Amino acid sequence: MEKQSWAEPYKIKMVEPVFETTREQRQKAIKESGYNTFLLKSEDVYIDLLTDSGTSAMSDRQWAGMMLGDEAYAGSRNFFNLEDAIREFYGYRFVVPTHQGRGAEHILSQLLIDDGDIVPGNMYFTTTRLHQELAGGKFADIIVDEAHDPKITFPFKGNVDLTKLEKLIAEHGAEKIPYVCIATTVNMAGGQPISMKNLKELRELTNKHGIKIIHDMTRVAENAFMIQQLEAGYSDRSVKEIVKEICSYTDGATMSAKKDAMVNIGGFLAVNDEQLFDDARNLVVIYEGLHTYGGLAGRDMEAMAIGIAESVQDKHIAARVGQVQYLGRKLLDAGIPIVLPIGTHGVFIDAKQFLPHIPQEEFPAQQLAAEIYLEAGVRSMERGVVSAGRDQVTGKNHMPELELVRLTIPRRVYTQAHMDVIAEAVIRVYKRREEVQGLKMTYEPKYLRFFQARFQPIAPEPNDTTHENDETFASCTVGGADSGVGQL
């Protein structure tokens, strides 16, 4: 068949220049950042794939919305527009805006979780789990086993293993499980979707036991797109319809609008239960702001309302996921080990396979992210043992199966040419992978350590003469009590 290309459903109206640096500059920058890409200055970065959180490009309509901010302290018009958008596109009844996703997680966890409760989820997310633990709960992973193996191509690695949940219920009793937390898509598994069939079955099971489902809907449109592409019976349904159906099987949601909804800041808690809404509306004034702005300006809420509508358009989401898949296939074709299937918001490199000679204790994914930066100024992020943190009780490092580097693609920001440059950089590192050595941690913060931890190469690089100041890092203490991870 003749090749038929697709293209982005937009054209570019405003540009922001990016700058390349020299290898020498990058060597200095990564060393000064303690080999942690979170500590790099953005101006030292050429292509920034650290995260898709708050980094997407807003549309002309969203920017126009910014000018329509009704900056009233109470009852801003933009709040009601946001509430309307959430009711229309997601179907939840009550809305509490928050400054971003973790603000909603905080309030929800404080309201629903009691000391000693168990909170099952389809794999953990860093901030989500930390808020569950700070509220006295314990996270339990009930994702299907396939999710922990980067080589298995099962299309719905975000699915819940219902027998794992039944076991938890039998062991602890349904009254100890305030809710099941379901992420669409599962970030930490590599951007993997849950199927509608699995979600429906989960709804039946939780209904039987009177357990709520709370929806981490950060990337729900991407999940809906994968259902449309892959699940029987959904190929002729719109992403908009599928999104609403997903939400209909859940009782409430936390949202980081910095992802799917393409705003630079914003989030919300949405629930169907009026009592829970009243409690959340009361708590939000302590931590975020009044219940009609929740830490946001009116203009932010307007941009969010418009972004929500744009996020469920079929053409938009096909191009967004299509770009990620384009990069993923380029890497696959070059033999680079990546998590399969290719995710929806980023390509996740399997650092264990990429650098098999570096043991997990020496942070292979952390080092690989540093090497990719060094190679071409491309900034990525570790999603492995550093992000997994320590067990709160034993203080030992969590040793996750998945030791990954995430190349996260912001929405509507980079072009296909950028994807080519990124792929070539990763391929160059792969060709010289045997030279790459491990790291040791020299500073470990107590919470969400991956954000601020510092590292140092175990062996100095052959032609690196910049090691004189290493004592400062080497003398730092290690030994936080990170619960887990954190974020984005």
Ligand X SMILES: *Cc1c(COP(=O)(O)O)cnc(C)c1O
Residues carrying an active site annotation: 73, 125-126, 216, 259, 383, 450
> Of 219 and 299, which has the nearer Cβ to ligand X?
219
> Of 198 and 367, which has the nearer Cβ to ligand X?
198
Task: Give whole-number Cα distances, 352 to 329, 347, 348, 402, in Å.
Answer: 19, 15, 12, 8
- Contact window for ligand X (CB under 6 A) among 6-14, 252-260, 352-360, 446-454: 252-260
Give dist(CA 141, CA 84) in Å, integer: 34
Give dist(CA 317, CA 307) in Å, integer: 12
The interface with ligand X within residues 217-246 (CB under 6 A) comprises: 218
> What SS3 class is residue 229?
helix
Structure tokens at 152: 């298995």
**374 with 30: CB under 8 angstroms?**
yes
Contact pattern for ligand X over residues 266 through 285, marking x by CB under 6 A: -x------------------
> Of 196 and 261, which has the nearer Cβ to ligand X?
261
Q: Closest approach of Cβ 256 to ligand X, in Å?
A: 3
Give dist(CA 419, CA 378) in Å, integer: 11
According to DSSP, the residues that pair with 270 across neighbouring strands are 95, 253
The interface with ligand X within residues 187-216 (CB under 6 A) comprises: 187, 216
Q: Which of 321, 311, 315 is nearest to 341 (CA)?
A: 321
> Of 187 and 483, which has the nearer Cβ to ligand X?
187
> Of 79 and 125, which has the nearer Cβ to ligand X?
125
* DSSP element (H, E) containing 429: helix 416-431
Give dist(CA 417, CA 372) in Å, integer: 17
* 288 in contact with ligand X (CB under 6 A): no
The β-bridge relationship of strands 346-350 and 404-408 is antiparallel
Structure tokens at 319: 């191009």
* 250 in contact with ligand X (CB under 6 A): no
Size of interface with ligand X, in residues (CB under 6 A): 17
Binds ligand X (CB under 6 A): choice among 183, 280, 321, 340? 183
- Contact window for ligand X (CB under 6 A) among 253-261, 333-341, 351-359, 447-455: 253-261
The residue type at 219: R
Burial of 62 (0-12, 13-18, 19+ CB in 10 A): buried
Binds ligand X (CB under 6 A): choice among 34, 69, 97, 101? 101
The interface with ligand X within residues 392-451 (CB under 6 A) comprises: none
- Contact window for ligand X (CB under 6 A) among 122-130, 334-342, 402-410, 416-424: 122-130
Binds ligand X (CB under 6 A): choice among 127, 311, 380, 483? 127
φ/ψ of 370, rounded to 5, equals -65, -40
* 323 in contact with ligand X (CB under 6 A): no
Binding residues for ligand X (CB under 6 A): 53, 100-102, 125, 127-128, 183, 187, 216, 218, 256, 258-259, 267, 487-488
